[in-house]
Amino acid sequence: MVIDKSLEAMQQGIALQQSGQLAQAILSYQKALKLNAKNPLVLYFLGVALQETGKLEEAVNSYKKAVALNPDYVDAHYSLGNVFKARGELDSAVSSFQRVISIKPDFIKVHNSLGTVLQKQGKLKAAAASYQKTIALKADHFGAYYNLGNVRQEQGDLDAAVTSYKKAIAIKPKFAEAYTNLGAVLQFQNKLEEAIVSHKKAIELKPDFANAYYNLGTAQMDAGKYELAFFELQHAVTIEPNKSTYWNSLALCVEKITIDSYHQDLEQLFLRMLDQPIVLPKRVMGTITNMLFQHPNFISVLEFARTDDLENNLQEAITQLTQIPLFLKILELSPNQNLDGEMMLSGMRSAIINSWDERTDDPNRLLFCISLAHQCFINEYVYIETPQETFAVNKIIGEVERFLEEKRPIPPVLIAILGCYRPLYTFSWAKSLLEFSWPNKFLEVIKSQISEPLEEQAIRPTLPSMTTVENVTSMAVRDQYEDNPYPRWTKAGLGDEPKAVAQALKVYAIDLSNYKSPAQPRILIAGCGTGHQALQAASRYADSHILAVDLSLSSLSYALRKTKELQFNNIEYMQGDILELGSCGRDFDLIECRGVLHHLKEPLVGWQVLVDLLRKGGIMKIGLYSKIARRQVIAAREMISELGYDASRENIRQFRQELITMSRKPGSEVDSLVGSEDFFSLSDCRDLLFHVQEHQFTLPEIELILKDLGLQFLGFEINNNHTMSNFKELNQEKNSLVSLSRWHDFELQNPYTFGNMYEFWVKKI
């Protein structure tokens, strides 16, 4: 009979499927369906085979046909729900799983599966109920206890999370994932030694468990054991090199360690790290430079610089440095942050220009000059220039103009040397250089110093204005930032997993309690500068629309060029004054204003404008200078005023040189200034020491301001794990993290805790 042949084909398919021959099994099921198209069992098995081969759309169709023929077919409904889950169709998955429960309420695994989908949807209470139902049906279901622990952790009920993870481990003692998640909760509770033991147990059970190495590394960072953390985080990125969060934590760790000797394997690791989009080069520049200082080649060149003998040994110095690819790379990505390094680089620059007409065909000289041109452009020509160098610069300019007049090929090294002293786009003949054929590596200099700035100049007149800029202080601040795009950056350090607002802020231990993330958050970046903050927000918050406003057209042009380059389309840039934004006719779910309010003549007036733009229940990130942390800055600003320096480029360079000289004297009190990353570029130094308007605050003052503005303090955004751990150790009472008086006491004992600025989150009550 036909039915018998259909069953025979189905049984053959099952046998083939059990032996792993999925393609042949599918053919057998399809043959069975040709003989009897209305057999739900065949359709179910076909769906399973299609699902196993990754043909999810076809699997869905097969399962749907099966349940259409048999509406109470539990296995088909359950498998259909799993396919929907795999495809990210969460509402459909929930419907399928709930259908299973309506047919067979005691079907154990469906409750656990439903919980995982509800958890992904952010319905944590419902997810917990599903896991608890699973446990009620099967008391030793370790997976449900594990999942329940994950939910409790998300809900902030850390004690309950610990209990659930421990029950999962009791049932399944070799459950590595439960051990490392338990460790993560213990870590958040500041039980660091227990956390470290738990993570190590996970690694013991699963030696290739990248996430356990990552968690162990972050726990050791919290404990201030940065060298140990560095070792573990290396394991994590080696096992899973495509995980951006692992590289980001490795970079944070690298920032905190000192490497006393050169290691070739670390050079390769750092080269890979600097290629990661999430890693900010500025963060790791100091540690990498310190390691390179131990490189034999570096030691030789530094000795030439210290003995003022670079000109006599220039070719040897160039050869030595071009053999260190990591050094050339960091020069191209971020300003040098080391005074000895600055001495060497400025000395190399001087020696090269003083012999500019020698060996113009030397490939090593060109290679080094390319990297140095990038460095000088990035630091905005912050080095002192001697009259002899200025004379040589003018000679090179004349030589280049002769080449152009005579239509002769220009040696690229001449343009590279010139790019070490002047931004190339400022010359009237800059566009003509775009028509030449250049070596590939040199094209990067042409791009950064000519093509991109010219693109910004073209963007500038197209930028819309949101408000007028009429306030006298606002105009002075705007004029300061029109001189150079500020801050200039090469890499955005973007994450690759945008999340709902509440989930994105979990990493900072911000207490959002009953805050509900908006589905499509409207975000204002007030004072966006060159777009770095706006781009980070765009990559951090899922389904967001961002309005980014700034006074400076130079900065906004840079921001828009970078945004187009990175292919973000959810950021709107406009020129405007924060003081005038009240009339913009918009409101926002989230506002970020970092490092802006303290440059207003009346910071509280501007802050009130932002509060009025924030929706009720909305959240805001604020960055303000700390009066305690900026004591040396305040003293330096007073010195600048007494000496009569203005904010011209020459005066900034000259005052920097005075501070460098002072720093080398015994008992110097300017160490935090010359050690600041902001000291090593012209615009950063202007912003640090020469700003036309600056206010500083204390935490007691901020506490009173928040009360007046109707804002609830949610917590500081602190990237230093060890700082947070130290605070927790000293302040174990409930709600200490949101106590500004506790933080004030801590800052008094640790005055550089907020060296950059206070960065904190508040909620509109």
Predicted pLDDT at 379: 96
Q: Are residues 622 and 635 in the same domain?
A: no
Q: Is residue 332 part of a domain?
A: yes
Write out pLDDT tens, residues 698-739: 999 999 999 999 999 999 998 777 898 899 999 988 889 999
What one-letter code names the amino acid at 253?
C
Write out pLDDT tens, residues 5-30: 888 888 999 999 899 999 999 999 89
Of 172, 173, 179, the residue nearest 149 (C-alpha): 179
Does pTM top 0.85 for this prediction?
yes
CATH number at residue 86: 1.25.40.10
Residue 4's pLDDT band (cuts 50, 70, 90): low
Q: Is residue 171 part of a domain?
A: yes
Tell me the average pLDDT across 488-504: 85
The string of DSSP letters for 541-578 reads BTT-EEEEEES-HHHHHHHHHHHHHTT--SEEEEE--G
Range of the domain at 637: 631-689
Name which residue leads in pLDDT, 205 or 476: 205
Q: Are residues 366 and 445 in the same domain?
A: yes
Task: Kindly report whether the peptide bond that precedes residue 241 is cis, defined as omega within 30 degrees of 0.
Answer: no
Tell me the average pLDDT across 86-99: 95
Write out pLDDT tens, residues 94-108: 999 999 999 999 999
Q: Are residues 302 and 449 in the same domain?
A: yes
Tell me the average pLDDT across 118-130: 94
Residue 192 has pLDDT above 60, yes or no: yes
Query: Which of 169-178, 410-419, 463-472, 530-539 has the weakest average pLDDT?
Result: 463-472
Residue 2's pLDDT band (cuts 50, 70, 90): very low
Residue 493's pLDDT band (cuts 50, 70, 90): confident
- Residue pair 492/277 in contact by the 8 Å Cβ criterion: yes
Tell me the average pLDDT across 403-417: 95
Measured distance CA(140)–CA(121) in Å, rounded: 26
Q: Are residues 562 and 479 in the same domain?
A: yes
Q: H or E element: which one contains 40? A: helix 40-52
User: What burial letters (b/e) apply to 116-135, b meaning 16+ CB within 10 Å?
Assistant: bbbbeeebbebbbbbbbbbb
Residue 509 has pLDDT above 90, yes or no: no
Tell me the average pLDDT across 358-384: 94
- Using CB atoms within 10 A of its CB, is residue 732 exposed (0-12), middle (13-18) or buried (19+)? exposed
Write out pLDDT tens, residues 303-360: 999 999 999 999 999 999 999 999 999 999 999 999 999 999 999 999 999 998 877 7
Domain-terminating residue out of 429, 459, 489: 459
Residue 580 has pLDDT above 50, yes or no: yes
Please give the C-alpha separations between residue 160 and each of 127, 193, 301, in angstroms, as whole numbers: 15, 20, 59
- Count of domains for the chain: 4
Q: Is residue 302 part of a domain?
A: yes
Mean pLDDT of the chain: 93
Residue 583 has pLDDT above 80, yes or no: yes
Residue 60 has pLDDT above 60, yes or no: yes
Domain-terminating residue out of 161, 187, 213: 187
Predicted pLDDT at 672: 83
Predicted pLDDT at 1: 41
Tell me the average pLDDT across 592-615: 96
Name which residue leads in pLDDT, 392 or 10: 392
CATH number at residue 471: 3.40.50.150
Q: Are residues 369 and 401 in the same domain?
A: yes
Tell me the average pLDDT across 198-216: 98
Measured distance CA(492)–CA(562) in Å, rounded: 9
Q: Is residue 213 part of a domain?
A: no
Tell me the average pLDDT across 162-168: 98
Q: Are residues 532 and 646 in the same domain?
A: no
Q: Is residue 661 part of a domain?
A: yes
Q: Is residue 585 part of a domain?
A: yes
Domain-terminating residue out of 394, 424, 459: 459
Q: Are residues 117 and 24 in the same domain?
A: yes
β-pair type (758-764, 614-624): antiparallel
Helices 90-103 and 108-120 meet at what angle, rounded to 10? 160
Q: Are residues 468 and 432 in the same domain?
A: no
Q: Are residues 501 and 548 in the same domain?
A: yes
Tell me the average pLDDT across 44-56: 92
Write out pLDDT tens, residues 423-436: 999 999 999 999 99
Write out pLDDT tens, residues 631-654: 999 999 999 999 999 999 999 999
Tell me the average pLDDT across 116-143: 95
Give the pair of three-digit tokens for residue 520: 């499509």
- Residue pair 249/256 in contact by the 8 Å Cβ criterion: no
Residue 457 has pLDDT above 90, yes or no: yes
What residue has token string 């079907």? Answer: 107
Q: Is residue 248 part of a domain?
A: no
Q: Are residues 307 and 327 in the same domain?
A: yes
Name which residue leads in pLDDT, 477 or 683: 683
What one-letter code names the amino acid at 143?
G
Q: Are residues 449 and 476 in the same domain?
A: no
Percent of the chain whose pLDDT exceeds 70: 99
β-pair type (545-550, 571-575): parallel
Residue 110 has pLDDT above 60, yes or no: yes
Q: Are residues 542 and 570 in the same domain?
A: yes
Sheet with strand 711-716: strands edge to edge: 571-575, 545-550, 522-526, 588-594, 614-624, 758-764, 711-716
β-pair type (711-716, 758-764): antiparallel
Q: Is residue 250 part of a domain?
A: no
